[in-house]
């Protein structure tokens, strides 16, 4: 007879997944989890397409560019369709496998729609690059901001993720912004709406909540939070999901380091919010909010 | 005769390790430094064991799970025993090699004790997942928090590291929490005691000092510090190490973004600390501390 | 006749680089962009040279050290010369290829000058290690700070980058400090001047602007900003680049978590700046600045 | 108007796949080609299962072995099922996608049947190891033959591939034997039937054709060919596929270096075929065939 | 004073490169050695272009193919130009650096000329695939020969290398055929001229010398040598390089396993050379050469 | 109750290592198997030391060479000592762990003795390079033979392995020659004694047995075997290991492709053995052995 070792006992206990059901993910229809690695690869391919020559091959010319862009977009499209499918499967509750095949189709459709949006993503990022160059006296060229600035890195991931969010792709947008969060310390929820010419100086610690609406030409410094003040609860005391609860920040607002702006309030255009401030009420256009000291 | 080049001169100067003795680590008994890479690998294996299906293989079933968990735990055990030995050797001052062999044994014992603690680590993490799901209106499922949230990532590293700290393993716990610090911007000292259902929203910039004691159901926002106010000095003016100097935070406390809580003070249960506040004195249970403005 | 697919249309549009000229980098003289990967490799080699035994080979002895240091420095020299050349090319506006060859020479000269500075870099880092050990009651040995502390990691990158900045190498210093920014959340501009025995506890969110001047024995906590208050504009309303606009922090100043210090002000020696404060005016030597509350 | 470059012309010509239709493989139902890399990985996992401790983890004990074997077999099973499906798809001519789903099922069934055969594969390989040890005076232990001998490497791949061939899996068996062919220079067709205790000394250049039948205890030296003499042609002059056309080699035959044995002839048990000979007719049991010289 | 260790003595002796000058390669103008790794990568890219869908991406369609082919050819062109330059530099004796720049230009020209030859290379390989399918009764499809057969692998490398040889590129062609030699055991000198529909069954041990001329439809079995008989010597007794010294093999010749054919002899069309034969004189068209036995 | 699946049954059966004891290697004292990967790395480091500039860094000068050689030799020494220890442990039958520690010491001693032999290894390889250049009319430079010729690759591995064999290191020498066997198809037993200026043209299929003695200036072509004729058996019918059983080949002998030379015979100096011959008796100095035809 075999005696169980203490090690075997631990293994047996941990293998009892029903004990902590929420911690285990047993696969549906053999669909794997979305791959963070593949999503990183997709985003890097898109970065190469959006900023050719800065990322990827260095000997690009007007002649060969179309081939590289075509090959990378096609690859990104295929990989993305697969990841969208996985994301949908992860969030799905259908148990009928036949119905399931539908996802194969919708994931490809969404990936195709996403690809079509890329020229617009590029147009917006061009304004963000402009904003970075103009907004930082230390920037020596547009190229330097593209290649070195956390703001441009994070906004590229964000603008890609936001397009997927608009297409109602589950999970994937969040993973893409978390990749940037981990690298830059900037936490932009993919649901936020962010206008042209957005710049975040230094960036570490910035948080922008999922129902924020940000106008054009807004500038945030490190450690700024656009957060929720409180959550409306439903009759069972659970937070109601999806309610607008983050600030509206109008055009040309500047918010300095460490300021905390909470709730569905409006910061009027051209306002200035000082550093380390705590703002929970509307701010008039052009106003300056400073620390009491 | 060979003339020395300026390059040779620099090499010779840098090779004189006695000049800056503290900067060089000449090996004892051929024991290498702990490997950050291997420790990352161990933690990833444990993450796969604790959250099966979310991390690692995707086609898990109740049938095959025991094999994967067994193989990973066994591997983690062997690798961890080696890393513990390295950590002990790094921190050791014994010069008698024979005595040294003792470490070979104690490191295996500690690794084995650690493995036995994993079901409890899993139990605690299940409560952290619950807290994340309940605490963030943007969370759409428990699974999303496991897969995407910096809080769960950092807490997994922390709870692993804390068990090793309790077993008095030197250096290794710190490396494990620094891996999470680097990735998430959350700096949890492995010595801290953290109760069930702990959640950190966004997380970037959170600091929890090594003698902190945190109750159940506590929630911290980004940029919160649980720090030391001052260090008691010994008769030579050096800080006395190991003295309790960080806050006690009781059950169900919420601390908002950017608050700084310093010293061995007690934040009473159910208290709420506002954002960007500076707290250096006890707070009564249920109290609200707000910015003066 | 071939009909263009929607996909082809997107490719064609994105391949029109003249549309968003600033987003594309078409190579000059086939010189590639600086490689972030190679620069990381160079910095790791230097870390191995500066902290032998902590990083790199573990079985170092006084006898074999010279070979490893020599081989790594030689490799670092060659790789760095190439990266400096790329950085110069990136920032260059000369269109005459013959003049271009000049860069081949200057980049080697700068790389050689940099190598000669390494013993001084090591001397400074030894004081930073001392500061970390003395400044954190949780530090158990000098070695632990070298191996685990974000402060030492970031300062190593910074002190390397600063030497290159002094040699007027474009772009490269910034990439090197951004590598540390991404890993530690500490954003030190390579142009800053930082004296001996500098320590940053926890570090996440620290920002030190490019014209800051920091004395000896200064200590910063997480989330501290040494920033600019406003930018003098030129006659066209553009920020004038290169003007001193960040603080002067004298010897032995301590600045606590989340403090924001802005503008070309002077914080006198031995002053203490409290957490979450907002400082925009000179502070006298030995003074304490606290939050109004 | 855009002028086509010579480069564009080459691209356009090569992209016309209909021109050389047989050289391009346009995917059916998005099923990729079998992956040589994954098949190598599967075979390595099986090698670890069949020769535990020689390959894979080194700290195996009777206690932990079951976990490793279980985890590797489960992984091998899943990966193999996918590769079998790809192999079937590659060789398939069905164009109705619905019928196609059938393959999903049969590939899993075949992979499962294969797993069940592994104990028998192990039993056979144990006899091959015995043969290698006995047959080479230079072998110092059984372990050395497992770890170093091309014969054991090639036979492991062969015996795995042969089981798949028996299960009528297309393409995959051939890829597995070609992996060994490339590494050892030994070309064993997976269709051959090879008995117990088979040993190939040195091995380079050995060829065993797909309809060969080899008894027990046979030994071949380097450069031996068991080949076909001629191919029966069908009425169109094409070789008829699948006809027995390679030798039958009975028990305990030894064939020395460089011998060429061709056609469906029988080499009787205990015969000895000398080096560099050319044999196209039956050889009596116990006979010796020598070079005329 | 520092005493030299025995280790230091060995290092010093090995570092004296003048002692064995031919064993060390000190770089000219900083041009590195050709990279076997990069050349492998180039050949793999070309294999993907020549056999799309078999190698590289699996979801190719007539629509996206042009992008992949364009991107890979452009990449291959750039990498190859660099490798050609290195090969020229390796073989060059010019010491005037200015003259040296010439190579930069010629290497690009040769790479461009090579690209233009690829459609012809594809045409020839299509005939080789046909030959493999027809020539091996075990082949079940054209695709199987492309994906699995050493003959096609080796011929792809050979036909690429041969084009570069014709362009008088030094060293690189040899490296490319040696890559195939190492993988398949087939040693085809890039200088050989090989006609359409060439097939090598099994392949291991085949040698085709550099001045061989092979017609259409020739088939070789494993172990066949087309070699030189003797080398004409110059007045100093050194072999005269470049003299035709290998066989001419006319159309539709078949040479069986292990045959050795030596010297500038002619094997007439439709001849058959038996296995293990030794042939050093002309063979008439249609003749059969058999082993004396 | 848990029902065992068929899969579980296979796992249980395969995990019963006592059933096929010789196929499993349960570790002694936690010493792992020698690592083929590490041994490959060691050999590559030595190749870089022996042929500087051809392998490894490309920008070597007389000044920096000593550092690279020193660093690589030191690394090779440490890695090799570990591998020797593993090899000894693999082949060892001592069960007393205390005695075991002895191996730690002897493995270092043997590694150190090996390092001291490297200048002699280099001297011999220089003569092999000379032989390759002189012996192949297709060779255009000494450098080409170093960089491209299987003969030099295989001889480097052989001469390294042979030195270890002389030092009575078990297993490791065989692994090193098998690495070359796999890559080149040349199987040289590390026990063979091979004089200066040895050249193997093409090489595939060459076999040199472990008790062969080869003089100076010998040249072998592809497919040549220097093998054993028969094995003397002991009283139990087992081959007696270690008896001289392979040929003695004196100076300046040439053996052409496919010749098989068997037994402890002597091929006199300056003899020539024709291709595809079978030689089992002494050959007089200067004689020519040809195929009967």
Which pLDDT tens digit goes with each residue over C97-124?
A: 667 778 889 999 999 999 999 999 999 9
Q: Which residues pair with E249 in a beta bridge?
A: E214, E267
Query: Which of the four pLDDT bands, split at 50, 70 and 90, describes residue F292?
Result: low
**CA–CA gap between residue C66 and residue C204 (Å, rounded):** 36
**Residue E219 · residue E194 · CB < 8 Å:** no
Which of C58, C59, C74, C76 to mutate: most F Cβ within 10 Å? C74
Do the beta carbons of residue F261 and residue F281 sit within 8 Å?
no
CB-closest option in E57, E72, E78 to A75: E57
Question: By mean pLDDT, which of A178-192, B6-20, D1-15, D179-193 is the weakest?
Answer: D1-15
pTM given for the model: 0.95
Of C12, C26, C171, the CB nearest to A61: C26
First to last CA, chain A: 77
Contact C140 B91 (CB under 8 A): yes
Cα–Cα distance list, B8 to A231, C69, C70 (Å): 66, 10, 8
Distance from the C64 Cα atom to the nearest Cα atom in chain F, whole angstroms = 7
- The position carrying tokens 């295989």 is F154
Q: Give chain D positions within 8 Å (CB) of B75.
A: 57
Please give the DSSP secondary-structure letter assigned to residue C139: -
Q: What is the pLDDT of residue A234?
A: 76
The gap between the terminal CA atoms of chain B, to the nearest Å, is: 77
Among B8, B23, B244, the strongest candidate for a mutation testing the C interface, having the largest count of C CBs within 10 A, is B23
CB atoms inside a 10 Å sphere around CB E35 = 16
- Measured CA to CA, the distance from residue A246 to residue A264 in angstroms comes to 5
Of A5, A7, A63, the CB nearest to D5: A63
Pick from E59, E74, E275: which is nearest to D27 by CB?
E59
Instruction: Name beta bridge partners: D193.
Output: D213
Mean pLDDT of the region C215-226 = 98
User: Which token pair is A176?
Assistant: 């893409």
Number of D to E CB contacts under 8 A, please give it.
Answer: 169
Task: State which fold the F31-185 domain adopts.
Answer: 1.10.3130
Secondary structure of residue C235 in the 3-state scheme: coil
pLDDT band at residue A1, thresholds of 50, 70 and 90? very low
Q: E260: exposed, middle or buried (C-beta count within 10 Å: 0-12, 13-18, 19+)? A: buried
Q: What is the pLDDT of residue F3?
A: 65
Instruction: Indicate yes or no: CB of B66 within 8 angstroms of CB of D68.
Output: no
Q: Which residue has the higher pLDDT, C63 or A191?
A: A191
C281 close to C268: Cβ distance less than 8 angstroms: no
Q: Which of B5, B60, B63, B79 to mutate to test the interface with F (most CBs of F within 10 A)?
A: B63
Report CA A167 to chain centroid distance, whole Å: 14
Contact A23 B125 (CB under 8 A): yes
> Would the CB atoms of D71 and B74 count as touching at under 8 Å?
no
Question: Mean pLDDT lowest for which of B41-50, B131-140, D89-98, E259-268?
Answer: D89-98
Contact C66 F64 (CB under 8 A): no
CB contact under 8 A, F63 and B11: no
Chains D and B touch (3+ CB pairs under 8 A): yes
CA distance D202 to D184: 9
Please identify, in words, the CATH class of the domain defined by D26-185.
mainly alpha
Comparing CA positions, the residue from A185, B121, F108, E55 lying closest to residue D24 is E55
Provide the residue ranges of all domains of chain C, joining segments of one domain with +.
29-185, 192-293
CB atoms B49 and A14 under 8 Å: yes
Average pLDDT over residues A68-76: 97
Chain F residues touching residue C41 (CB < 8 angstroms) = none
Chain C nearest CA to B26, separation (Å): 6
- What is the least distance, in Å, from the CA of F179 to any CA of chain B? 28
Residue B230 CB-density burial (10 A; 0-12 exposed, 13-18 middle, 19+ buried)? exposed
* Summary mean pLDDT of chain B: 92
ipTM exceeding cut-off 0.85 for this assembly: yes
Selected from 3.60.15.10, 3.30.70.3280, 3.30.70.980, 1.10.3130.10, the CATH number assigned to the domain covering A29-185 reads 1.10.3130.10
Residues of chain C contacting F59 with CB distance shorter than 8 Å: 78
Nearest to E206 by CA among E175, E232, E214: E214
Q: Which of B8, B9, B14 to mutate to test the interface with F (most CBs of F within 10 A)?
A: B8
Q: What is the pLDDT of residues A170-222, one digit of tens each?
A: 999 999 999 999 999 999 999 999 999 999 999 999 999 999 999 999 999 99
- Report CB contact under 8 Å: E30, F184: no
Residue whose structure tokens are 């590490």: F38
The answer to whether D273 touches D256, Cβ cutoff 8 Å, is: yes
How far from B152 is each of B149, B206, B223, D188, CA to CA, in Å? 6, 14, 17, 52
Q: Of B225-229, D250-254, F20-24, which has the strongest mean pLDDT?
A: D250-254
Q: Are C276 and C257 in contact (CB under 8 A)?
A: yes
Q: Residue D204: closest CA among chain F residues belongs to which residue?
A: F205
Dihedral angle computed from the Cα positions of residues D267, D271, D274 and D277, in that order, rounded to the nearest 10 degrees: -20
F-chain CB neighbours of C71 within 8 Å are 64, 67-68, 70-72
* B150: chain A residues, CB-CB within 8 Å: 178, 181-182
How high is the pLDDT of residue A2? 54
* Whether residue B22 has pLDDT greater than 80: yes
Q: What angle do CA C89, C90, C92 make, to 5 degrees?
A: 60
Q: In what order do the strands lie in the sheet with E207-208?
A: E187-188, E207-208, E225-227, E260-262, E278-279
DSSP string, chain D: -PPPPHHHHHHHHHH-GGGGGGG--PPSTTPPPPPHHHHHHHHHHHHHHHSBTTBS-S---TTTHHHHHHHHHHHHHHHHHHHHHHHHHHT-----HHHHHHHHHHHHHHHHHHHHTHHHHHHHHHHHHHHHHHH-TT---HHHHHHH-HHHHHHHHHHHHHHHHHTT--SHHHHHHHHHHHHHS-EE-TT-EE-SS-EEES-TT-EE-TT-EE-TT-EEETT-EEE-S---B-TTSPBPTT---S-EE-TT-EE-TT-EEESS-EE-TT-EE-TT-EE-S-B-TT-EE----
Quote the pLDDT of residue E1: 42
C-alpha atoms less than 13 angstroms from C-alpha of E211 in its C-beta half-sphere = 18
Among chain A residues, CA nearest to B54: A25
Q: How far is F106 from chain B (nearest CA, A)?
A: 16
pLDDT confidence tier of residue D59, bands split at 50, 70 and 90: confident
Residue A3 confidence (pLDDT): 65
Nearest to C5 among E5, E8, E63 (CB): E63
Q: What is the pLDDT of residue F291?
A: 67
Cβ contact C–B (≥3 pairs, < 8 Å)? yes
Taking the CA of residue B221 as centre, how many other CA atoms within 13 Å lie in the half-sphere pointing to its CB? 26
| Phi, psi (rounded to 5 degrees) for C55 | -120, 150
Nearest to D63 among A5, A63, A67 (CB): A5
CB contacts of D25 in chain E (<8 Å) are 51-54, 60, 143, 146
Q: Tell me the nearest-neighbour CA distance from D184 into chain F, angstroms.
A: 5
Q: What percent of chain A has pLDDT over 90?
A: 77
Count the alpha carbons within 13 Å of F258 in the hemisphere toward its beta carbon: 34
Domain D192-293 has CATH 3.50.30.30: no
Tell me the average pLDDT across D174-186: 98
Q: Give chains near D: 3+ CB pairs under 8 A.
A: A, B, E, F
CATH domain B27-185 topology: 1.10.3130
Q: Which chains touch E (3 or more CB pairs under 8 A)?
A: A, C, D, F
In tens, the pLDDT along B173-220 reads: 999 999 999 999 999 999 999 999 999 999 999 999 999 999 999 999
| pLDDT at position B68 over 80 | yes
Measure the CA–CA gap between C52 and C59, rounded to whole angstroms: 10
Residues of A in contact with B62 (CB under 8 A): 15, 17, 26
Length of chain A: 293
In this complex, which chains have at least 3 CB pairs below 8 Å with chain A?
B, C, D, E
- In DSSP terms, C209 is beta-bridged to none
Lowest mean pLDDT among D76-85, D230-239, F143-152: D230-239
The per-residue pLDDT for E28 is 67
CB contact under 8 A, F116 and E242: no
Find chain C residues with C-beta within 8 A of B30's C-beta: 58-59
Alpha-carbon distance B118 to A89, whole Å? 30
* DSSP symbols for chain A: -PPPPHHHHHHHHHH-GGGGGGG--PPSTTPPPPPHHHHHHHHHHHHHHHSBTTBS-S---TTTHHHHHHHHHHHHHHHHHHHHHHHHHHT-----HHHHHHHHHHHHHHHHHHHHTHHHHHHHHHHHHHHHHHH-TT---HHHHHHH-HHHHHHHHHHHHHHHHHTT--SHHHHHHHHHHHHHS-EE-TT-EE-SS-EEES-TT-EE-TT-EE-TT-EEETT-EEE-S---B-TTSPBPTT---S-EE-TT-EE-TT-EEESS-EE-TT-EE-TT-EE-S-B-TT-EE----
A67 to E64: CB separation less than 8 angstroms, yes or no: no
Compare CB distances from A223 to C171, C175, C223 and report the shortest one's residue. C223
- CA-based nearest distance C45→chain B, Å: 13
Strand, coil or helix: B154? helix
Which of A26, A30, A98 is the best residue to mutate to test the D interface, defined by the most D CB atoms within 10 Å of its own CB? A30
Does chain C touch chain E (at least 3 C-beta pairs within 8 Å)? yes
The answer, yes or no, to whether D and E have at least 3 beta-carbon pairs within 8 Å is yes
Specify the fold of E32-185: 1.10.3130
Query: Cβ D63–A11 below 8 Å, yes or no?
Result: no
Contact residues on chain C for F78, CB-CB shorter than 8 A? 59
pLDDT of the residue at C1: 42
- Which positions in chain D touch E180 (Cβ < 8 Å)? none
Q: How many CB atoms lie within 10 A of CB C187?
A: 25
Q: Which of F10, F226, F255 to mutate to test the interface with D (most CBs of D within 10 A)?
A: F10
Contact D23 E202 (CB under 8 A): no
pLDDT band with cut points at 50, 70 and 90 for residue E266: very high
Phi, psi of C41 (to 5 degrees): -65, -45
């Amino acid at each position: 007879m075999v005696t169980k070792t203490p090690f075997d006992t631990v293994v047996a206990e941990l293998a009892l997944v029903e004990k902590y059901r929420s911690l285990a993910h047993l696969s549906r229809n053999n669909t794997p989890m979305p791959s963070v690695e593949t999503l990183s690869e997709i985003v890097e391919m898109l970065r190469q397409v959006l900023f050719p020559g800065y990322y990827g091959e260095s000997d690009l010319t007007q002649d060969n560019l179309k081939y590289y862009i075509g090959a990378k977009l096609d690859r990104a499209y295929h990989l993305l369709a697969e990841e969208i499918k996985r994301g949908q499967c992860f969030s799905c509750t259908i148990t009928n496998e036949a119905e399931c095949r539908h996802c194969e189709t919708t994931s490809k459709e969404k990936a195709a729609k996403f690809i079509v949006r890329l020229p617009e993503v590029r147009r917006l990022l061009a304004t963000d690059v402009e904003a970075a160059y103009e907004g930082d006296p230390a920037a020596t060229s547009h190229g330097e901001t593209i290649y070195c600035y956390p703001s441009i890195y994070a906004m590229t991931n964000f603008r890609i993720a936001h397009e997927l969010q608009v297409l109602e792709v589950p999970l994937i947008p969040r993973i893409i912004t978390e990749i940037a969060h981990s690298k830059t310390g900037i936490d932009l929820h993919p649901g936020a709406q962010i206008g042209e010419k957005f710049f975040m100086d230094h960036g570490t610690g910035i948080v922008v909540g999922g129902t924020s609406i940000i106008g054009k030409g807004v500038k945030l410094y490190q450690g700024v939070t656009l957060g929720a003040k409180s959550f409306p609860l439903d009759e069972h005391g659970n937070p109601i999901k999806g309610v607008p609860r983050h600030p509206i920040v109008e055009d040309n607002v500047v918010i300095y380091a460490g300021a905390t702006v909470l709730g569905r309030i409006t910061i009027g255009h051209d306002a200035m919010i000082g550093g380390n401030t705590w703002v929970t009420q509307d701010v008039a256009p052009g106003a300056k909010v400073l620390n009491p000291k």
